[in-house]
Amino acid sequence: MKPTSRVVDITDSVTIQRRIAAAQGKTECDGLIENIRYLDVFSSQWRMGSIGFIDGVIVGTESGLKAKRKWNGRGRALVPGFIDSHVHIESSLMAPLTFDREVLRKGTTTAICDPHEIANVQGVSGIEIFLDAAEVAKSDLWIQLSSCVPATHMETNGGGSITASDLLKLRGRSRALGLAEMMNFPGVLNASPDVIEKLVAFGDTLIDGHCPGLSGNALSAYIAAGISSCHESTSAPEATEKIAKGMSVWIREGSVAKDCDALVSILNLATGVSVGFCTDDRNPLDIHEQGHVDYLLRKAIAAGVSPEVVFRSASLTPARHYGLKRVGAIAPGYQADLVMLDDVRSVEVGDVFKRGQLVSEFDSDTQSTDALRKTVKNSVQAVAPADGDLQWPTGAVKVIGVRPGQIVTDHFTSHSLNQPTRAANDLGVHYLSVLARYGTGAKPALGFVQGFGERFRGAIGSSVGHDSHNLIVAAFAKKSMQVAFSALIDLQGGFVVVDESGKLIAKLSLPFGGLMTFETPEQISTALKSLRAASRSVGCELAEPFLQLAFLSLPVIPSLKLTDRGLVDVNRFEIVSLTE
């Protein structure tokens, strides 16, 4: 399967004739941006010209073009629309069509999406929801079909196990692109039959990778299996080895995993053909206040990378990697996805055009949003734990160590936990619990965590718990943990903060799979600000406590995590005892 394109079909003779005539100034273009300095991404040079487009496609860059509508660029800069090379829209907390509108305004005109969060909640139907949304979205949302649902055998999800045959039924959809990140790299290296079946089934498409820390023979084996990209590099040497072995490397800057500072030094004119940008998991407050892909580009330019290289890596490089036809450049025959910059170095986004249409003039699509609302179903079927369910061991125990700004964790040992109701007596060690939310009736899994702050005296809870999205709560005392679990169940998913007395002081409901809401970006941002303020008021020191919490249950990222089935030693890839 080769990815299709939303560029108007050039095999239509009338369309071809319209383009030919408009390009020669014989007939009018739909639109013309005059007096503009545009980036030629093929030679990394800025050029002056006039950009004419018809039927959503650029037909010329010279003077003398006619148009029904004109814009005066006043010498400002024009660059191709930005491409997010790997994103989980669910982490934005926004429904897909809300996300679509929000990031378009910031210059992201194309996104490569992996809906494995909603797929873990409700299976194949979750992927179908995103494929349906992508077909009506204003931007180009391409769907990589989720390869690892569930991520491991050490957790319980609501979507069951999605097989190669399940995915093959979806690959013919117009917005389906290929196979999403193959997180089960041990399964690849050990040639697990189910993994091999998926790699074979999608061997003629683009297969995204996920191989943090892999190097040497193991990395070579992983790439030789047909996997062509990775967004999990956290150091320049790691990224450099992957590039040298033919992988495309996506520089990630999410809300928790922030790798831009560590990786930006690898980006230059030579490596730029293999390096792009992605947001992976970025919350709506950061998108609203800091930006989306534009934020990453701003950081890269500020770090000293030439703007010409940065903008090429944000457009032409991922477009070519994913085989997107005539996307990612300002040139005749290319899709008119354009970002006008009021300032190049600060990536100050002005007008944005998607397929030649001004994004600020798009109408809202309430009908599609209403249809999406009807897909929401009750996904939180759990009972809050009783006192008897929350009995932690004392003495020498294993502790998950949070690294602020990273999804990798440390493995600590504590020797002095001996209080039956409160945990925060050992350099900021707190209770951690994960409760299965899919009606299994299982007791909560118990653990310890360090890193929320020595003065943390409340509870923080979330129904966003990668990747199976069971309920997860970190707390100082059992009472506040119970209140947090009860609130998450009542909300049908969301975020909550509970104070030391057991009072619920902040919340955000996420009824769409316990992951997303249909609220506006402004409303979500307001709620998140209140939640952050509430978390600080109970002593939490993490800048992004909710996404940081969410990744404490992800058992494919080292080194110690907690799922609903117990404590996972990721390096050993097995469930282990909480006691040492």
Q: What is the mean pLDDT of the chain?
A: 94
Give the span between the Cα atoms of 117 and 533, in whole angstroms: 27
Is the pLDDT reported for residue 4 higher than 50?
Answer: no
**pLDDT per residue over 274-316, tens digit each?**
999 999 999 999 999 999 999 999 999 999 999 999 999 999 9
Give the span between the Cα atoms of 326 and 313, in whole angstroms: 16
**pLDDT per residue over 361-416, tens digit each?**
998 777 777 888 888 888 999 999 999 999 998 888 999 999 988 888 999 988 76
pLDDT at 188: 96
Q: State the DSSP string of 260-286.
A: HHHHGGG-STTGGGSEEEE-BS--HHH
What are the distances in angstroms from CA 460 to CA 77, 350, 463? 45, 38, 11
Would you state the torsion angle of the CA atoms of residues 418, 420, 422, 428, taken in this order, to the nearest 10 degrees? 20
- Work out the average pLDDT over 473-488: 97
Which domains are assigned to the chain? 81-325 (3.20.20.140), 387-576 (no CATH)
Dihedral sign (CA 382, 384, 387, 390) = positive
Instruction: Grade residue 53 by pLDDT with cuts at 50, 70 and 90.
Output: very high
For strand 560-563 and strand 574-576, is the pairing parallel, antiparallel, or unpaired?
unpaired
Instruction: Grade residue 418 by pLDDT with cuts at 50, 70 and 90.
Output: low
**pLDDT per residue over 543-570, tens digit each?**
989 989 999 999 988 899 999 999 999 9
Whole-angstrom distance between the N-terminal and C-terminal Cα of the chain? 51
108 forms bridges with which residues in the sheet? 82
Residues 6+ apart with CB under 8 A from 44: 269, 306, 308, 309, 312
Identify the CA nearest to 170 among candidates 146, 148, 188.
Answer: 146
How many CA atoms, within 13 angstroms, populate the side-chain half-sphere of residue 65?
A: 30
What percent of the chain shows pLDDT beyond 90? 87
Q: How does 157-173 read in b/e, with b if 16+ C-beta sit within 10 Å?
A: bbbeebebebbeebbeb
- Work out the average pLDDT over 252-272: 96
Give the span between the Cα atoms of 367 and 133, in whole angstroms: 12
pLDDT at 327: 97
Q: Which H helix or E strand runs over 115?
A: none
**pLDDT per residue over 218-248, tens digit each?**
999 999 999 999 999 999 999 999 999 999 9
pLDDT at 365: 74
What letter represents residue 413's amino acid?
T
Contact of 131 with 175, CB cutoff 8 Å: yes
Give the span between the Cα atoms of 192 and 315, in whole angstroms: 35
What are the distances in angstroms from CA 185 to CA 214, 220, 235? 9, 12, 19
Output DSSP code: residue 424.
Answer: -
Instruction: Grade residue 3 by pLDDT with cuts at 50, 70 and 90.
Output: very low
Q: What is the pTM of this model?
A: 0.93
Would you state the torsion angle of the CA atoms of residues 345, 350, 355, 360, taken in this order, to the nearest 10 degrees? 160
Is the pLDDT reported for residue 7 higher than 80?
Answer: no
At residue 331, the 3 state secondary structure works out as coil
Instruction: Grade residue 5 by pLDDT with cuts at 50, 70 and 90.
Output: very low
Backbone phi, then psi, for 86, in 5-degree steps?
-165, 120
398 forms bridges with which residues in the sheet? 413
The secondary structure of 54-107, three-state, reads ECCEEEECCCCCEECCEEECCCCEEEECEEEEEECHHHHCECHHHHHHHHHCCC
